[in-house]
Each structure stands twice: as C-alpha cells, then as structure tokens.
Amino acid sequence: MMADYLPTFFLLLMALSVLIYAVLDGYDLGVGILLPMNNVEHRHQMIASIGPFWDANETWLVLAVGILLIAFPQAHNIVLRELYLPAAIMLIGLILRGVAFDFRAKAVTQYQPLWDKVFRLGSLIAALSQGFMLGMYVVGFEYSFITICFSLLTAFGAAAAYVYIGGAWLVLKTEGELQKFAAKKARRAGWLMGLSFIAISTVNPWLNPEVAERWFTMPGALVVLLIPVMCGLIWLLVDQYLKYVPVQKDRACWVPFVGGIAIFSFCLIGFAYSYYPYVIPGQLTAEEAASATKSLQFVFYGVVIVLPVILAYTVLSYRIFKGKTNELNYY
C-alpha cells in the first residue's frame, strides 16, 4: 500500500532538498560572488555573515544527490554520467570555496586577498556549473549548439539568482554601507535574473513540446499561469524595497530574502509541474527508476524520524545567530 507512494515521496523529498539547497547555499554562493576585492572590511563582514551556516547549507546538496542515489540509482547513474565534466568542475568550485573559508582566516596574512579571490572564483564556478547542469538536465543531456547555448543561459540565470538571494541575505544580516552595497547589487542581479528567467521560460516550451502542452492546455493553464504572475509581483515588491534601502529603522529588512525564497519556491513548483513524474525529463519516471521497496522503506522511516529533528536544529542555529552579523562573532 505504502509502497506505491514511496517513489513519489522520495521525488518530492528530493525536490524539497534541492529547493532548500538553492536558497541556503544559494545565498552563500551569491555572497561569495559579490565579495568586493577593493574593500577588505566588507569582505570580512560578508563572510562572517555566512560563516556559521555554510557547512550545513552545503549538506542539502549531499542529501539531494544522496536521495537520487538511494531512491533512483538508475537515474543517478545517467545524470552523473552525462554531466560528468560539469559535475567535476562544480565540485572543484565547491572545494575551492569551502577551503578558502578557513585558509583566509588562518594562513599567512599576506595570502588573505588571494584566498578571498579563490573564494569568489570557487563560488562563481559552482553557481555557473550548477545552472549549466540544470539546463543540460532539462534538454535531456543532448549536447548540440542550441542546447549548449540554452545551458549557458541557465548557468547565467542560476548565478544571477544566487547573487540575488545572496544580496537579499546581506540586506537582512548587515547594515550601513555594506547593506546599501548589497541592495544595489541584489537589485541589479534581480533584473538579470528576471530577464534570463523570461528567456528560459520562452525557450523551454519550444525545446520541449511536452512541457508546452502542459502549460498551455486549459483548464490547468489558468492555475499554473498564476506562477509567473506571482513571481512577477513578488519580484516587483522586492525591487521597490531594494530601491529604498537603507529603510528607516531598517524596517522589514527581511522582505527581499523572504521574497527571494518565495520566487525560488514558485519556480520549483513550476518546474515540478513541467516534469512530474519524471526523474529524468522524457526518459525515466520516478516509478521506473525507483530502487527496491524494502530499501526505500528502510530509508523512509529514517527520514520521517530524523528530518524533523534536522529542521528543528537548523531553525535553532538560525535563532542562535539571528540579528545583524557585525556583532562580535568568533571562536
């Protein structure tokens, strides 16, 4: 009985992990890309704002890939075979970003700007390659001129989206000059993100007729077309807020970040609507790719028990470090 729902359960769980990863490590990577090489003060504060979180944030990627591996091993094999080099490059990016965190604070002081550059480069490489992989995934891993151009577009879009949420995070966590700087960058990234999302949404139905059919068939279309409308409205609200940063008394400094989360969530819902129940678009459904029921059951119980605990202490950690980052913060 339950067995019938397990593949869907894990597909949704994977989507949730990807969403949480995109938001959480998205802001880490966005902050990394934004590091200004001409302002060491700002760099310190920006990195301090993500210091307590980045490691746990990155773990959501491990969970997402883990679920792909546990629940849909066949799909895992296909995805990682087809995306072999982009995945390797993304990993190099994540390695560089992760180690720069610690080396910048501990290595010989004169190397610090170098490690900051490594930090920024690593973040950029990771963001771009994730976007590129997403594009390739959507087009079914066909390497041709058009699909590579499309994937470069998604790569650019992902990087812009990460900078957007990274800037929004900084508006929430910092104040003064840095907050103004972050708002300006977030706003600009928001425009780039919006434009590339529009481009992606225009090209994608044309590349994937199946998706077009889902989106433009009545009566479903009436409901799902709310998604871009909602995204647009939230985007506009955030854009207007960012324009007026610093706001008096820093009122509602959470608006851009929460708005960013909402936009990311709507995009994911749209994505899910386009491809459900496929785990690899057009090739493999969740059911077809699912591993043995016994194995899924065994993990299912673990997820049901452990995931709420993980979410609880994640919330706890954000409560411990709530407020602006420029307070004393060290070990």
Partner 1 sequence: MLEAANETTLILSRIQFALNISFHILFPTITIAMAWLLFFFKIRHHISGHPVWMRAYRFWVKIFALTFALGVVSGITMSFQFGTNWPGFMEKVGNIAGPLLGYEVLTAFFMEATFLGAMLFGIKRLPPWLHTLSTFLVAIGTSLSAFWILALNSWMHTPQGFEMIDGVAHATDWWEIIFNPSFPYRFFHMLIASGLTACFLVMGVSAYRIIKGDEKKAPQVTLRAAAFLAAVLIPVQIFVGDLHGLNTLKHQPQKVAAMEGVWETQKGVPLLLFALPDEDERTNHFEVGIPNIASLILTHDLDGEIKGLNEFQGKHPPVAPVFWGFRIMVGLGVIMLFVSWMTSWQLLRHQRVSPIMLKVIVATTFSGWVATLAGWYVTEIGRQPYLVTGVLTTEQAATNIAASNVGISLALYAIVYVVLLIAYIHTLFYMARKSVKVEEFVTPSESWRESDNNNVEDSSGQTKSEEVKVL
**CA torsion angle 307 312 314 315 (round to 10):** 140
H or E element at residue 285: strand 284-285
In the complex, what is the shortest distance from the CB of residue 186 to partner 1, in angstroms, rounded to a whole number?
22
In the complex, what is the shortest distance from the CB of residue 111 to partner 1, in angstroms, rounded to a whole number?
9
Q: Figure out which of the listed residues 2, 3, 4, 41 binds partner 1, where binding follows CB under 8 A.
A: 41
Whether omega for the bond prior to residue 113 falls within 30 degrees of 0, making it cis, is no
Backbone angles phi, psi at 284, to 5 degrees: -145, 125
Name residues contacting partner 1, limited to 252-291 (CB under 8 A): 291
Is 110 a binding residue for partner 1 by CB under 8 A? The answer is: no
Minimum CB distance to partner 1 smaller for 160 or for 289? 289
Minimum CB distance to partner 1 smaller for 12 or for 48? 48
Minimum CB distance to partner 1 smaller for 80 or for 192? 80
Is 98 a binding residue for partner 1 by CB under 8 A? The answer is: yes
Q: Figure out which of the listed residues 8, 39, 74, 147 binds partner 1, where binding follows CB under 8 A.
A: 74
Q: At what angle do helices 40-50 and 176-207 cross, to 10 degrees?
A: 60
- Give me the 122-161 binding string for partner 1, x by CB under 8 A, dash otherwise: ----------------------------------------
First to last CA, the chain: 51
Beta bridge partners of 285: 278
Name residues contacting partner 1, limited to 307-326 (CB under 8 A): 307, 310, 313-314, 317, 320-321, 326
Say if CB 166 and CB 174 are below 8 A apart: no
- Binding-site size for partner 1 (CB under 8 A) equals 71
Is 95 a binding residue for partner 1 by CB under 8 A? The answer is: yes
Using only the alpha carbons of the chain, give its radius of gyration.
20
Is 39 a binding residue for partner 1 by CB under 8 A? The answer is: no
Separation between Cα atoms, residue 132 and residue 93, nearest integer Å: 14
- Give me the 54-73 binding string for partner 1, x by CB under 8 A, dash otherwise: -xx-xx-xxx-xxxxxxx-x
Choose one: 155-163, 171-179, 186-194, 296-304; the region binding partner 1 (CB under 8 A): 296-304
- Residues in contact with 2: Cβ distance below 8 Å, sequence separation at least 6, in sequence order: 297, 300
Separation between Cα atoms, residue 174 and residue 269, nearest integer Å: 31
Is 240 a binding residue for partner 1 by CB under 8 A? The answer is: no
Is 102 a binding residue for partner 1 by CB under 8 A? The answer is: yes
